[in-house]
Amino acid sequence: MNNSADSRAIDNSDDQPNVNARRRNLLKSAMTAALVGSGMGAASLMAPSASAASTPARLKNLVGPISTNNTIPAVGYAVYASDQPMRAFKFLRRPVGPKDVAIEIQYCGVCHSDIHTGLGHWGPQKLPLITGHELAGVVVAVGGSVSRYRVGDRVGVGCMVDSCGVCSECTVGFEQFCTKGTTWTYGSPTSDPTGVTQGGYSNVAVVKEHFVISVPDNIELAAAGPIMCSAVTVYSPLRHWDVRPDSKIGIVGLGGLGHIAVKLAKAMGAKVIVLTTSSDKVADAKKFGASDVIVNYDKASMDKYSRSLDFILDTVPYKHEMDPLVSLLKRDATLCLVGVGKADEPNQLAPITNVLARNSFAGSLIGSIRETQDVIDFCSQHNISPEVNLIPIQQINSAWREVIDKKARYRFVIDMTSLKKEI
């Protein structure tokens, strides 16, 4: 999917006074550059139109009128048992509180974490459980204290929906490392009606304003979802380890995380080497921006790049051989793991691996709310979009199978219009 500009959404930018002015100016200049670069004049698209002014958002009517005093009837696809297919689950969302935003979920990306969680790879869950933490949709109600969003705004939600807000991590903007325990988008204990948070494979969500991300006008909603988890998960370590022009880095795995990592790192100016086990992904890796591709630790290539990389980002979510990867790092360079495999199948490093060139082995967990807004703005400015494969929710079970079998190209995204027949 490309992220061609949506003229209706663009026209709405002048109709949203709550949008941060700096961000809007940045976005407009980025869009102007992108549109001029594509041969399209920006001026005509930026001009307000009467039809857009009267239609502030593309509502799909997946959720009915919302009273802020009452619980909200919702429907989604839930795991009832790890050995059974997911199926429809009707449940209640909490009433919209003063700081809450209610969102009609129009799209939700399918992340490997959904599968690991749903199938119990990371421990038992309270079932039924609706997974999904790559939500994109439109605001349909706001609480009385909400200041940044209003009905009709295009928004996203990632892996977190709450944190304590006062601990040493939260106060410096690292909600994902909250010392009291982050509330994840699905499966976390909550006082909400079902007792655990329910995720995005559903038609409506109620989320605290702080955890809601603004979707820039030139990012399609269908593409916005995967940016909420997969893109920020790779963007955060790329920034933390200071990937920049002239950096030479490795990206391991070309799946949902890896493919967007290549695009982001390329846009940061880095030279990117992709390592994959799928020889049929070589052409795609180069299309996304890789300068070279190593398939199955091919010896000649491994020798060629020995001790040459400034950083390696490893996105593989299963146990895999890691010692050869470290041999590609320069002295003092870091390999960072963001793919998390099964809890009972840990990766292993030989005792000598990190010693030979004083290398570091690190990990990174998604990204903060600030970084999530940063990455979607970065995607907007650089015209970057995940490769999206839209599916109806009725195909979610086969989609999970394809992700496990490495057949996804590259991110399944559920079109929630398909939920209408379950409502």
Which stretch in 13-21, 162-170, 345-353, 387-395 sits in contact with Zn ion by CB under 5 A? Answer: 162-170
Strand-pair category, 309-314 with 248-252: parallel
Which stretch in 62-70, 115-123, 212-220, 227-235 sits in contact with Zn ion by CB under 5 A? Answer: 227-235
SS3 140: strand
Which stretch in 194-202, 225-233, 339-347, 414-422 sits in contact with Zn ion by CB under 5 A? Answer: 225-233
- Residue 310 in contact with residue 330, Cβ under 8 Å? yes
Measured from the CB atom, is 96 or 340 closer to Zn ion? 340
Q: Does 119 bind Zn ion (CB under 5 A)?
A: no
Place of tokens 């944190």: 163
Residue in 164, 295, 349, 357 binding Zn ion, rule: CB under 5 A: 164
Measured from the CB atom, is 180 or 304 closer to Zn ion? 180
Which stretch in 159-167, 296-304, 319-327, 353-361 sits in contact with Zn ion by CB under 5 A? Answer: 159-167
Residue in 146, 161, 170, 213 binding Zn ion, rule: CB under 5 A: 170
Count interface residues toward Zn ion (CB under 5 A). Answer: 9
Residue in 13, 163, 247, 353 binding Zn ion, rule: CB under 5 A: 163
CA angle, 195 then 198 then 200, to 5°:
170
Binding mask 289-318 for Zn ion (x = CB under 5 A): ------------------------------
Place of tokens 């002048």: 14
Measured from the CB atom, is 95 or 256 closer to Zn ion? 256
Measured from the CB atom, is 9 or 79 closer to Zn ion? 79
Rounded-to-integer distance, Cα 134 and Cα 417, Å: 16
Q: Does 423 bind Zn ion (CB under 5 A)?
A: no
Q: What's the one-letter identity of residue 129?
A: L
Q: Does 33 bind Zn ion (CB under 5 A)?
A: no
Binding mask 124-153 for Zn ion (x = CB under 5 A): ------------------------------
Q: Does 261 bind Zn ion (CB under 5 A)?
A: no
Q: Does 157 bind Zn ion (CB under 5 A)?
A: no
Element (H, E) at 186: none
CB of 232 to Zn ion, least distance (A): 9
Which stretch in 56-64, 75-83, 180-188, 236-244 sits in contact with Zn ion by CB under 5 A? Answer: 180-188
Taken as a whole, the chain contains a residue count of 423
Q: Does 182 bind Zn ion (CB under 5 A)?
A: no
Q: Does 232 bind Zn ion (CB under 5 A)?
A: no
CB of 183 to Zn ion, least distance (A): 10
Measured from the CB atom, is 64 or 165 closer to Zn ion? 165
Measured from the CB atom, is 175 or 284 closer to Zn ion? 175
How far is residue 193 from each of residues 72, 77, 93, 317, measured CA to CA in Å?
Answer: 10, 17, 7, 32
Residue in 3, 13, 113, 236 binding Zn ion, rule: CB under 5 A: 113
Rounded-to-integer distance, Cα 354 and Cα 33, Å: 44
Which stretch in 25-33, 196-204, 221-229, 236-244 sits in contact with Zn ion by CB under 5 A? Answer: 221-229
Which of 196, 220, 234 is CA-nearest to residue 312? Answer: 234
Measured from the CB atom, is 35 or 264 closer to Zn ion? 264
Q: Which residues bind Zn ion (CB under 5 A)?
A: 111, 113, 163-164, 167, 170, 178, 180, 229
